[in-house]
Amino acid sequence: MKLLSKELAETKFHQQLLFKETGDPFEGNVKNISLNILKKLYPQENPFLQAQTINNEIFEDNQFTYSELKQLTQTLPKGKDPGCDGIDYTILQIVCKHFPLVV
């Protein structure tokens, strides 16, 4: 029983650190909570992105259409781990639904 109590205490500590960074997840609606998470993940001023230089001719890809994004977000698996980019599928679905021009 002691081990379980220690695990619960560690979990609660990690949750407190997360709430300190992102705010209380029980305040506001899903849209506001998602925006707060996105702001933490992708701040407006990112020195790493400013330092990078990429030749656009080499890495130029075709852009996705809105209908392709909509179809993708409807077929994404639920309850799965994020992809290699670290973006949770739930966040991607909310961003595509409410802010399609951002994606």
40-73 tens-digit pLDDT: 777 666 555 555 555 555 556 677 787 887 888 7
What integer best gives the mean pLDDT of the chain?
A: 69
Report how far residue 61's alpha carbon sits from residue 84's, in angstroms, rounded to the nearest whole number. Answer: 19
| 89-103: average pLDDT | 76
SS3 of 11, please?
Answer: helix
Q: Which H or E run contains 95?
A: helix 89-98
Whether the per-residue pLDDT at 33 is higher than 80: the answer is no
- Residue 81, pLDDT > 50, answer yes
CB 78 within 8 A of CB 89: yes
The pLDDT of residue 1 is 45
Nearest to 21, CA basis, from 40, 7, 3, 8: 40
Region 8-22: mean pLDDT is 61
